[in-house]
Amino acid sequence: MSGAAPRLGEDALIARYFAPLSGPGADNLRDDAATLTPSPGHDLVVTTDTIVAGVHFLADDPAGSVARKALGVNFSDLAAKGAAPCGFVLSLGLPTDWTEDWLSVFAAGLCEAIAAFGCPLLGGDTVRAGGPAFIGITAFGEVPAGQMVRRMTAEVGDRICVTGTIGDAAIGLHLARASMPAWAGDLDRATVDALVDRYRHPRPRVALAPALRAHARAAMDISDGLAGDLAKMLKGEGRGAEILVSDIPLSAAARAAIAREPALLDTALTGGDDYEILCAVPEKDVDGLSAEAAAAGIAFSVIGTVTAGDALPAFTMADGAIRTFPGGSFSHF
Amino acid sequence: MSGAAPRLGEDALIARYFAPLSGPGADNLRDDAATLTPSPGHDLVVTTDTIVAGVHFLADDPAGSVARKALGVNFSDLAAKGAAPCGFVLSLGLPTDWTEDWLSVFAAGLCEAIAAFGCPLLGGDTVRAGGPAFIGITAFGEVPAGQMVRRMTAEVGDRICVTGTIGDAAIGLHLARASMPAWAGDLDRATVDALVDRYRHPRPRVALAPALRAHARAAMDISDGLAGDLAKMLKGEGRGAEILVSDIPLSAAARAAIAREPALLDTALTGGDDYEILCAVPEKDVDGLSAEAAAAGIAFSVIGTVTAGDALPAFTMADGAIRTFPGGSFSHF
């Protein structure tokens, strides 16, 4: 419509940076659409998440990290649904000051994630953003027909479990910003790096997908904070939860930060970007799921129980006090 | 991360405006993913297009029109591939000054297009844009297995055909802007309205999809201008084209505008937003495709022939001069 002369036309840009990332069905990105057909006896699972500079990532985050995050948040959704990633399409909104350097590092980050998860690029669209950069991904996975793990199907008495550790990314975000908080002063470099890494690089729990299908009654990924996402999993279904905060897995790095600034415990419980799995598991299946997680090298913790009623999940703190988190989740919005 | 207090939380917004638009497999948008499975013997066709305020639509375009355009540009891609739309996911980036009024009219526009094309919402993501509004759609269609109509497969001697009329939207864009161009001065209201309507409301040629599968050798939709998109369909494959400009279908409204400002003929040939079908059809199939288009109520014109060689498509003008359009297409980028 209006706008500056392009540095590299959209077609040249696609041919140079994105066509090498494309998979079967995408015809080397020389068409306006791709074909995608699930394996016989399987459903496709579709999810979409967009990340925006200044909202979901920092404008000066490394471009490769941004690419890995854009894919990771989507693969995390697929993993929680029990699905194996099989392809994605990309919508890339570039700000007016984009550079080819940024783009080439971004494409390299995509390439790394594509290789790690065996999930090719099927197509995309590159546009002028008019504002900050945004990256929209629609990702596809496969599950055996009818076996997608749902979010709203927990039952009273199910145990509530999480993978990995909680809160690292939310604490890491404070450390990734240009101005360090006062409490960061005497944290050692490795601790800071570990927390920032968790903020920048989601680790989607794709390896756990088959075990979730076999054992979990309900699951979602934790993207907007444990407290809020747990409430989201249960609300409107006449179910609540009792959570023992001492059972919530915290990394050594998160514990070190919380020791310096106790308010960071709330950050850990309500902050976003964990990209761990939250699931409700029948008591009889807990050991099986736990064993499969261990076999996949994924930490797995039971943190509470699904209860009856419409109240918000109740968190029993270390001092015995019971808290709820009414505003409990990060809103990207 | 930072930002103003939301007017309506993302969950409430989804429940109020988007859940009513959702289809089977989407679980009323209460999950983080949807399932989608093509009919037996069919491939899914996937396409994605994002539109941005100030780039692909005017910020003051009616919200319902914006919704219809966002869907229409994607359904147009599906139609050109011979696919029947079967679902879509939506990524909505809202500027900081969004209002519920805008959103409710936007949702009503989506609803209208969903009803018209029988293509439900499967899921989505609503985010703070940080800049102008953007709407990303990933749309899904179905074709019988292996029958997606490709873009790059035209053969020498194929006839080049288009649906509808060309250039209305590109001329309409001039008339949709706040300041009317001088040549618009004595156009009657109905002419202006017809051209603006073509700019705001793509008419994806979904009804022609089965006939394209049966008769077209190659097809794409015209989104970035006839001249540029034709070049895109043929380039790199050792094929060119001879086009007779007098055979390119122009509406009465476009003719009226061009009569007042002859430079608008170039606008018509190179401007964007036609969302008509451009296809290469073996001579023996032209009558069949033409008849099926007529039966579907879609105008259909033969405008030229595929030739050998790597030259840009040659347009023979009314005065016999031959022109090419090297910069020939609108870049959204």
DSSP string for residues in B137-192: EEEEEEEETT-PPPSS---TTPEEEEES-SSHHHHHHHHHSSSPPGGGTT--HHHH
Residue in chain A closest to B73 (alpha carbons) equals A32
Which of A46, A134, A145 faces B33 most closely, judged by CB atoms?
Answer: A46
Instruction: Give the separation between CA A72 and CA A274, rounded to whole angstroms.
Output: 11
Predicted confidence band of residue A236 (pLDDT cuts 50, 70, 90): confident
Chain A contact set for B333 (CB, 8 A)? 6, 9-10, 13, 94, 126-128
Res B88: pLDDT = 97
SS3 at position B293: helix
**ipTM score:** 0.92
- What is the helix (H) or strand (E) element at residue A199, kind and residue range? helix A189-200
A–B interface: beta-carbon pairs under 8 A: 229
Q: Which residue type does A156 have?
A: V
Instruction: Give the separation between CA B191 and CA B250, rounded to whole angstroms.
Output: 13
> Do A50 and B127 count as a contact with CB atoms less than 8 A apart?
yes
Can you state the angle between helices B63-80 and B189-200, rounded to 10 degrees? 60
Among B60, B98, B103, B138, the strongest candidate for a mutation testing the A interface, having the largest count of A CBs within 10 A, is B138
Please give the structure tokens belonging to residue B19.
Answer: 């859940």
Q: In chain B, how many H helices and how many E strands?
A: 10, 12
Angular region, B118: left φ>0, alpha ψ -120 to 50, beta rest: left
> Do A131 and B129 count as a contact with CB atoms less than 8 A apart?
yes
Res A3: pLDDT = 36
- Cα–Cα distances (Å) from A82 to A66, A162, A212, B41, in that order, read 25, 15, 6, 25
Mean pLDDT for the stretch of residues A315-333: 80
Q: A320: distance to nearest CA of chain B, Å? A: 31
Predicted confidence band of residue A5 (pLDDT cuts 50, 70, 90): very low
Reported as a single tens digit per residue, the pLDDT across A81-102 is 999 999 999 999 999 999 999 9
Q: Could you tell me how many residues make up chain A?
A: 333
Predicted confidence band of residue A2 (pLDDT cuts 50, 70, 90): very low
Cα–Cα–Cα angle for B65, A52, A326, rounded to 5 degrees: 95
Reported as a single tens digit per residue, the pLDDT across B164-184 is 999 999 999 999 987 889 999
> A50 at the B interface (CB within 8 A)?
yes
Strand order in the sheet with B84-94: A34-36, B42-52, B134-144, B84-94, B121-128
Which residue has tokens 């292996």?
Answer: B146
Other Cβ atoms less than 10 A from the Cβ of B198: the count is: 26
Cα–Cα–Cα angle for A81, A85, A91, rounded to 5 degrees: 105
Other Cβ atoms less than 10 A from the Cβ of A302: the count is: 16
Q: Which one-letter DSSP state was computed for residue A73?
A: H
What is chain B's alpha carbon radius of gyration, rounded to the nearest angstrom?
21
For A7-14, the CB contacts below 8 A with 24+ separation are: A7/A98, A7/A99, A7/A100, A8/A100, A9/B331, A9/B333, A10/A126, A10/B331, A10/B332, A10/B333, A11/B232, A13/A103, A13/A126, A13/B333, A14/A124, A14/A126
> Do B43 and A55 count as a contact with CB atoms less than 8 A apart?
no
Q: Which of residues 226-245 of B touch A (CB under 8 A)?
A: 232
Predicted confidence band of residue A259 (pLDDT cuts 50, 70, 90): very high
All domains of chain A, ordered by start, with CATH? 10-144 (3.30.1330.10), 159-323 (3.90.650.10)
Res B216: pLDDT = 98
Instruction: Give the separation between CA A316 and CA B20, rounded to whole angstroms.
Output: 38
Q: What is the pLDDT along chain B (333 residues), one digit of tens a residue?
A: 333 344 677 888 888 999 999 988 888 888 999 999 999 999 999 999 999 999 999 989 999 999 999 999 999 999 999 999 999 999 999 999 999 999 999 999 999 999 999 999 999 999 999 899 999 999 999 999 999 999 999 999 999 999 999 999 999 999 998 788 999 988 999 999 999 999 999 999 999 999 999 999 999 999 999 999 999 999 888 999 999 999 999 999 999 999 999 999 999 999 989 999 999 999 999 999 999 999 999 999 999 999 999 999 999 999 999 999 987 554 444
Residue in chain B closest to A41 (alpha carbons) equals B37
Instruction: Give the separation between CA B215 and CA A250, rounded to whole angstroms.
Output: 62
Res B281: pLDDT = 98
Average pLDDT over chain A reads: 93
Please give the structure tokens belonging to residue A141.
Answer: 């996975």
- The rounded percent of chain A whose pLDDT value lies above 90 is 86
HSE (side-chain half, CA atoms, 13 Å) at B285: 19
For B118-121, the CB contacts below 8 A with 24+ separation are: B118/B85, B119/B71, B119/B75, B119/B85, B119/B86, B119/B87, B119/B88, B120/B21, B120/B22, B120/B23, B120/B24, B120/B26, B120/B87, B120/B88, B121/B18, B121/B21, B121/B22, B121/B23, B121/B26, B121/B29, B121/B87, B121/B88, B121/B89, B121/B90
Res A74: pLDDT = 97
Query: Which alpha helices (DSSP H) does A296-333 contain, by range?
Result: none
Between strands B134-144 and B84-94, the pairing is antiparallel
Q: In sequence order, what E strands does chain B have?
A: 34-36, 42-52, 84-94, 121-128, 134-144, 159-163, 218-222, 239-244, 276-281, 300-308, 314-316, 322-323
Q: Could you tell me how many residues make up chain B?
A: 333
> B52 at the A interface (CB within 8 A)?
yes
- Cα–Cα distances (Å) from B252 to B163, B165, B243, in that order, read 16, 10, 21
Reported as a single tens digit per residue, the pLDDT across B294-326 is 999 999 999 999 999 999 999 999 999 999 998
HSE (side-chain half, CA atoms, 13 Å) at B254: 26
> Do A46 and B150 count as a contact with CB atoms less than 8 A apart?
no
Cα–Cα–Cα angle for A303, A308, A309, rounded to 5 degrees: 115
Strand partners, A22: A121
pTM: 0.93
Q: Which of residues 72-101 of A touch B (CB under 8 A)?
A: 77-78, 80-81, 83, 89-91, 93-94
